[in-house]
Chains A and B, each alone.
Chain A
């Protein structure tokens, strides 16, 4: 089971799932915060709605639903 770090906390993810699934499985429902302060999370799951953007290893605006979970990645929501 890959171990990832989300906002500094260790999270165990299932093998072979997308980062969006890993975050939701861990109970994380706020992937990012909109400009007006509202919580945002994955909606379409297929790379279209752009709602699931997170920072992965320092790279902003990566789509969590389009990234397969890998051991050791550092995610910021």
Chain B
């Protein structure tokens, strides 16, 4: 039975930054769009739990292409964002503890420069001058001035302006629509799963696993930091498949607060604070920035990244389905890559060419060689 009120061109499941960005792009392309969410607010999952770092990354060419494309879209969006989105172009500073990491700074500098991304290589004194609260004696660092930070839930709210929200827990999604736990159904010409780490509940065959993280926020200390600072060892941490890992990653908020991270744990499904890993994470931060130990932390929390075997997101048609799409698996880069994801997904759905190749993120790609 056809019911116009219960029918849309596209229904998106998930109102995080990725779902919101995709909804915006599809609505702007002229489609009648609705977004399902099952929290009191939109952007309440990993979007709220994450740092909101908008970074260009170079773990792989495909990761670079998507983060770089997305960052240019962020800077286009920035002028339209409301103050509560707290967008700030503070830049990133990757710090090298020793000569081995400094060699990595030079490698990255060449990689980025060859692709037109502005970077500055800093020596030991340059890092100390850029960030006086870092410990002395670091080997150097790499500054990416175009990197930025934002409060992503406020961005998600802004992107969803004028888009119909459907409240409820989606228990099944097909090419033709969705069904809520209440039994209520909605029909659509296409459905998009943008449910982050919760993807396996609706698409169990796709290789997304939750990777837990912790963050702590401090009281307001304006001027304490100038950049988002990350240790180069972060990359080793981010790629670790087995062991729990921590890495120094600290971010200045517009309020003067500092966000301190980061931790990664696979195979943990409860959201409670793990005090042992929180302690390790903070101890790591204090190694790099000793003064942090005397600041007031006011809240710590956890969240779940949607990780994939090759550290690339899943963007496109769910294999074996006619018009059921996926936009998930963004691990720690969902905010960075949300806007590019939205373009690629809409391009795929509408048969448009894309600014960058879509194949590396196709959910039907092979993951075998990463197993």
Whether B298 pairs with A50 at a CB distance below 8 angstroms is yes
Nearest A residue (CB) for B222: A60
Q: Which residues of B contact A61 (CB under 8 A)?
A: 219-221, 295-296
Q: Which residues of B contact A50 (CB under 8 A)?
A: 298
- Size category, B interface: under 10
Nearest B residue (CB) for A53: B219
- Is the CB of B60 closer than 8 A to any CB of chain A? no
Q: Which of A53, A59, A61 has the most CB of B within 10 A?
A: A61
CA distance A61 to B221 in the complex (A): 9
By secondary structure, the A interface counts as strand
CB distance from A22 to the nearest CB of B (A): 21
CA distance A50 to B219 in the complex (A): 10
By secondary structure, the B interface counts as mixed
Residue positions of B touching A, CB distance < 8 A: 219-221, 294-296, 298
Q: Which residues of A contact B298 (CB under 8 A)?
A: 50
Tell me the count of chain A residues lying within 8 A, CB to CB, of chain B: 5
CB distance from B293 to the nearest CB of A (A): 12
A sample of 11 cross-chain residue pairs with beta-carbon separation below 8 angstroms, ordered by A number, consists of A50-B298, A53-B219, A59-B294, A60-B219, A60-B220, A60-B221, A61-B219, A61-B220, A61-B221, A61-B295, A61-B296
Q: Which residues of B contact A60 (CB under 8 A)?
A: 219-221
Across the A-B interface, give the 8 residue pairs with the lowest CB-CB distance, nearest first. Answer: A61-B219, A61-B296, A60-B221, A59-B294, A50-B298, A61-B220, A53-B219, A60-B219
Q: Which residues of B contact A53 (CB under 8 A)?
A: 219
Nearest B residue (CB) for A50: B298
CA distance A18 to B221 in the complex (A): 24
CA distance A60 to B258 in the complex (A): 14
CA distance A60 to B219 in the complex (A): 9
Q: Which residues of A contact B294 (CB under 8 A)?
A: 59
CA distance A53 to B221 in the complex (A): 13
What would 7 more interface pairs be, CB under 8 Å, given A61-B219, A61-B296? A50-B298, A53-B219, A59-B294, A60-B219, A60-B220, A61-B221, A61-B295
Q: Which residues of B contact A59 (CB under 8 A)?
A: 294
